[in-house]
Amino acid sequence: MLDQKTCVYVLSDSLGETAELVVKAAASQYNSGHAEINRIPYVTDKETVKETIEDAEKDQAMVAFTFVIPELREYTVNLCKEKNIPFVDIMGPVMEQMARITNKKPRFEPGILRKLDTDYFKRIEAIEFAVKYDDGKDPRGLIRADVVLVGVSRTSKTPLSMYLAHKQIKAANVPLVPEVKPPKELFEIDPKKIIGLTISPHQLNEIRKERLLALGLRDHASYASMERILAELDYAEGIMRRLNCPVLDVTNKAVEETTGKMLSILREGI
């Protein structure tokens, strides 16, 4: 059984969290479930490996490591064998089998998983942000947004916000309606991070008619009337002039195309 004297040195060319978790999982299978773990992260040279193995030899410890750099793996294995130190190469055998299966060479780049995880969580955070601050739900979010989209109803504000979120950009959007005063926060943020959306009256008329039919309503309701649409677009144009923000016409534009133009605007504004 493991006891209080059990010692493991963990080496990694990244953080070493994987090796440490494996060692802890193995230790939990013994009565005491305890192992003294000394983690040495970001190892990039043989000298650090040599010093660590010398310490492991003195402490009669085991060595576990996750190296993706072949030279460090080979050096560690040979040195442990030379000094008769028990060791576990956690990453090596898995990488070798994957290389055989895929018939491809690995990138030999430490820390890729952490980078992928970071990108993933940033994307999830941006998606949650877009949902929370969609359709002007909470104007307090405008200050925290990377970009704020404004425009009349059915100008693709929500789809564009979600598409930007998948690119790790926090987007909020605010509908411009003549009967509703825009939030004061909209006029307090940098106009460089506000993008106005406009559309041709005729296309908006068709989109709104289809929307009403989808909801089981008559397509000649005020919401889809040309008079109402022209009034809304005129009002929105006035607000955008006050904001002094760039304006994009989304008429007959795919979400991907409009997003590309938005990204160019945001890069220019940085």
Sequence ranges of the binding site for ADP: 151-158
> In sequence order, which residues have a C-beta less than 8 Å from that of residue 181 and are 6 or more positions away?
none
For residue 94 the two structure tokens come to 């898995």
What whole-number distance in Å separates Cα of residue 157 and Cα of residue 171?
9
β-pairing, 147-151 with 247-249? unpaired
Tally Cβ neighbours within 10 Å of residue 119: 11
Q: Are strands 36-40 and 62-66 parallel, antiparallel or unpaired?
A: unpaired
Residues of the binding site: 151-158
C-alpha to C-alpha distance for 232 and 141, rounded to whole angstroms: 24
User: In sequence order, what E strands does the chain have?
Assistant: 7-12, 36-40, 62-66, 87-89, 147-151, 171-175, 194-198, 247-249
Assign 270 to helix, strand or coil.
coil
What's the token pair of residue 266?
A: 């945001």
In the DSSP assignment, the letter for residue 181 is P
Which residues does residue 66 pair with via DSSP β-bridges, in sequence order?
12
Radius of gyration of the chain (CA): 29
Query: Helix or strand or coil: residue 74?
Result: helix
Strand order in the sheet with 247-249: 171-175, 147-151, 194-198, 247-249
